[in-house]
Amino acid sequence: MQKIRDFHYVSVNQREEFWRREGARIHWDMPPQQTLDDSRLPFARWFVGGKTNLCYNAVDRWVPLQGDRQALIWVSTEVDQERIYTQAQLHEEVNAVAAMLREQGVGQGDRVLVYMPMVPEAVFTMLACARLGAIHSVVFGGFAAHNLAQRIDDARPKVIVSADAGSRGGKVMAYKPLLDQALTLCQSRPAAVIVLDRGLAPAPLADGEWDYAQLRTRHEGARVPVTWLESSEPSYILYTSGTTGKPKGVQRDTGGYTVALAASMEYIFDGKPGETFFCTSDIGWVVGHSYIVYGPLIGGQATLLYEGTPLRPDAAILWRLVERYKVNTLFSAPTAVRVLKRQDPELLRRHDLSSLRAIYLAGEPLDEPTARWIGEAVGKPIIDNYWQTESGWPILSAQPGVERTPPRLGSPSFPTYGYDVRVVDENTGQDLEPGRKGVVAIVPPLPPGAMSTIWGDDERFVRTYFESIPGRQVYSTFDWGLVDDDGYWFILGRTDDVINVAGHRLGTREIEESLSSHGSVAECAVVGVADALKGQVAQAFVVLKDPGQAEGDAAMRALEGDMMRVVDQQLGPVARPARILFVAALPKTRSGKVLRRAIVAVCEGRDPGDLATIEDPNALELIKESLR
């Protein structure tokens, strides 16, 4: 593992030389004059003076080299459609949409809010914004009107591009009524709204609203010149999920982000031009921005855009797509794997996965039992990686393009190049030695591709991320972690997921890990619930692989006791949950994150609040029923 350590050392100790080399991966209309300006930390500017364009590097650059190769593969098991666009066809579509937006007055620095399902037109719109030098803000499809209105007011878009509806699990989810309601709530109305009519739900157009297909026809064959942006100019705003009050818009630069993604496609994903990349995320999240839209295309790879769930039409759909499109890299989330864990294991062996090099998982901590199960089931390397909306690309990951290192179950391996990551004491800010738990922090400057600020609020950027650790200006991830003696990192949960039981501080993530090691557990969630005697107690909710194991009070109590003993043995009696309750499903967002705060609210008899992103409202009802 010496090679990867040396590589990382150079990246943080000889930053300018390292990133100057990496900067040569992309096309610059004007070369950078300075690799790094860190004169105003924690603000950092990368590739200063250089002019480039995200769309050019993702699309135009590849047309002469592989114009006839597939670039965008769209598969929808929701509407039973698929479309494949070659590099040249993608170029045509992006130019047409750029012309549509330009006709509505969109130019450099203007914002365009994208509120769309997982359809090719959403990708065209994002790339068209980048082409014009406009700043896109993609809002996760299905967000409630209130949340959407907040984001409209914060970004103040000139144009909104939306659709009549999306579909999830065969259920149509109308977007246009939510958008209409949001426009009545917000203070900052756009000059125009463009609506893609998929024929799924009524979407009447008002004054100032345009039909996507009609505009597209009008601009057939259009050619829109690329707008070259100085490297530090913003490329997009992405609002972090789960924010309260004023939304927190992560602002990304242009040049640094392009370089970071280009490097990651080789070093982290071990990829080459001409391959096929399949990321199961949503374009409304950072993983979708970086590894559905921009990363693969910048790397000259075809990207597979999937509208559907891991279970429709059956639990073999992901593997069927891998076989059919000869996918080389699959990027998903631990939640998707846990869902598959409850299905017939034969489905994992039905399809030819010989093209698949590795499976990458991110979005939440990957517990050891899930990692072992999927690795053994498909016989492929499982690469856990850890990052955030703010970072834009992985902070911790194995890097097979640098050196192949043995995985360690439950660990996202090592810091990636460019990130000077430390485990620090929450009270003193001092670095901690291996084996000690602390806050995962990053010494600035943040590397290329990481957030440059919060949209419209530099002061909040500094206050939120760089002032929570005493006596030291470091970026806090707000996650607990530790490093073992061999240099492998482990993420132990959010710093706000610590509960205090009779004076003992316990990480809910550690209790979940322990419960997950029980052979009957498919997935679980542990939350801290207010208790008059102890201050807080841990409450666990478990989804079983075989629900029949808990049929009847006697069987349920016996299984609960057996799981309590597992926690006792691994963590000690102090970590034992007050109760372990069995449910058919956990309430989650559509991106797969468990809605722990909603669970806590229900346990404490409070209103769970905004549930705009919940996948299945019935799952929260199951939690309520289990408590009765």
Mean pLDDT of 250-258: 98
Higher local confidence (pLDDT), 612 or 122: 122
Residue 319: the pLDDT is 96
Per-residue model confidence as pLDDT tens digits over 26-57: 999 999 999 999 999 999 999 999 999 999 99
Confidence of residue 531 (pLDDT cuts 50, 70, 90): confident
Mean pLDDT of 433-454: 97
Check pLDDT > 80 for residue 534. no
In this structure, are residues 603 and 558 in contact, taking their beta carbons and an 8 Å threshold?
no
For CATH 3.40.50.12780, list the domain ranges present in the chain.
22-67+90-260
Residues 492-495: contacts with CB within 8 Å, 24+ apart? Answer: 492/365, 492/437, 493/365, 495/426, 495/439
CA distances from 231 to 110, 209, 427 (A): 17, 33, 37
Per-residue model confidence as pLDDT tens digits over 272-326: 999 999 999 999 999 999 999 999 999 999 999 999 999 999 999 999 999 999 9
Check pLDDT > 80 for residue 428. yes
Residue 244: the pLDDT is 43
pLDDT above 90 as % of the chain: 81
For CATH 2.30.38.10, list the domain ranges present in the chain.
422-494
Residue with structure tokens 């049929």? 551
Confidence of residue 143 (pLDDT cuts 50, 70, 90): confident
Residue 142: the pLDDT is 63
Mean pLDDT of 124-132: 98
d(CA 12, CA 90): 37
Residue 493, strand partner residues: 480
Residue 245: the pLDDT is 53
Average pLDDT value over all residues in the chain:
93
Query: What angle (nearest 5°) sits at the alpha carbon of residue 451, between those of residues 448 and 454?
Result: 155
Check pLDDT > 90 for residue 349. no
Residue 243: the pLDDT is 37
**Helix, strand or coil for residue 29?**
coil
Superfamily (CATH) of domain 22-67+90-260: ANL, N-terminal domain (3.40.50.12780)
Mean pLDDT of 520-545: 90
Nearest to 333 by CA among 274, 291, 301, 271: 291
Question: What's this model's pTM, rounded to 2 decimal places?
Answer: 0.87
Check pLDDT > 70 for residue 503. no
Confidence of residue 241 (pLDDT cuts 50, 70, 90): low
Check pLDDT > 90 for residue 192. yes
Check pLDDT > 60 for residue 327. yes
Check pLDDT > 50 for residue 242. no
Assigned CATH for 422-494: 2.30.38.10
Per-residue model confidence as pLDDT tens digits over 538-593: 999 999 999 999 999 999 999 999 999 999 888 777 789 999 999 999 999 877 88
Residue 495: the pLDDT is 80
Tokens at residue 362, please?
């991110």
Residue 173: the pLDDT is 92
In this structure, CATH architecture of domain 497-627: 2-Layer Sandwich (3.30)
Check pLDDT > 70 for residue 505. no
Check pLDDT > 90 for residue 114. yes
d(CA 491, CA 481): 4
For CATH 3.30.300.30, list the domain ranges present in the chain.
497-627
Query: What angle (nearest 5°) sits at the alpha carbon of residue 101, between those of residues 100 and 104?
Result: 95
**Helix, strand or coil for residue 238?**
strand
